Amino acid sequence: MDTTVDQADFFKTLEEKSDGGTLRGDYSKCDARYVVTQDCSSYTGEQHALWRKLYQRQARLLPGRACELFIESLSKLDAADGIPHLERTNEALHRATGWRLVAVPGLIPDLTFFEHLSERRFPVTVWLREPQEFDYIVEPDIFHDFFGHVPLLFNAVFADHLQQFGKGGLKALRLDALKYLARLYWYTVEFGLIQGPQGLRAYGAGILSSGGEIAYCLSSAKPRRIMLDAERTMRTLYKIDSYQETYFVIRDYQHLFDVTAPDFTPIYERIRNKEALPADSLLPGELNMPPNRESA
């Protein structure tokens, strides 16, 4: 089965899912912006234990694979002992970069999601996966959202970049170009790689919260690794239910910020008339960067 999906179809599915009420979270108590109160007393001892197992497995995989910044920030988060209390993290996070975490029941509409980002609020899902989903979940849960996304929100450049994304998302919605921006989001915020002094490292939350892809994306000879370019990335389809076939690489966070900051309107107009690129394309003249040698 070819599982490459076009972003538009993916988001239509999400919309249908939320209309049909089949999303996993409890949406009955959220406010107009889909914010809920995180009820910390509702997490069971088993759930806290599952969090610790997820955290320990993932933390062990980080050295030599996650970017330094992520590792440093994670250790400051103090979230190893159980499902974190978002309000507690907020004190330190707001002091560091002016961001706040808001609790949400699960996936929320694109518009609301980008509104939050544009106002420096990061939506974090409150439910935790079941034990049988240890290695893989379809929708983001609190482990993906918190462990994967929150550490880099402590970095000023990355934090500014994500706010830009929020503003860009609102604009892309107005221009009927969300699928292009969503691809850029996917290939950077979720599955981005960065060039470090000792080789490639991961900074994307989808990779950093994944037990398998974190080694695969750096060490496997199979996927392509290409320098990030806004237009190229926005034209590229992606996989939602397997490891990525292409990763886009940044030189540093400033590179990411520079790619994300411009007005994308001319790019949207240009690529609207071009065909999307398959997830495994390598165009003439493109440099495919070699994998890291496994050191562990």
What residue ranges bind ligand HBI (CB under 6 A)?
A: 104, 107-108, 110, 113, 123, 125, 140, 182, 185
Q: Which does 205 bind (CB under 5 to 8 A by kind): Fe ion, ligand HBI, none?
A: Fe ion
Alpha carbon distance 136, 210 (integer Å): 8
Instruction: Determine if 226 is a binding residue for Fe ion (CB under 5 A).
Output: no
Q: How far apart are CB 145 and ligand HBI at their closest, in Å?
A: 7
Interacting residues of 12 by C-beta distance below 8 A, sequence separation 6+: none
**Least distance (Å) between residue 105 CB and ligand HBI:** 8
Residue closer to Fe ion, measured from CB, 188 or 246:
188
- Pick from Fe ion, ligand HBI, none: which does 107 bind, CB < 5 to 8 A by kind? ligand HBI
* Residue 192 binding target from ligand HBI, Fe ion, none, CB below 5 to 8 Å by type: none
Q: Which of 205, 234, 267, 279 binds Fe ion (CB under 5 A)?
A: 205
How many whole angstroms separate alpha carbon 85 and alpha carbon 78? 10
Q: How far is the CB of 209 from Fe ion (least distance, A)?
A: 8
Would you say how long the chain is, in residues? 296
Please, are residues 244 and 280 in contact by the beta-carbon 8 Å criterion? no
Residue 161 Cβ vs ligand HBI, minimum distance, rounded to whole Å: 14
Which residues of the shown chain bind Fe ion in the complex (CB under 5 A)?
205
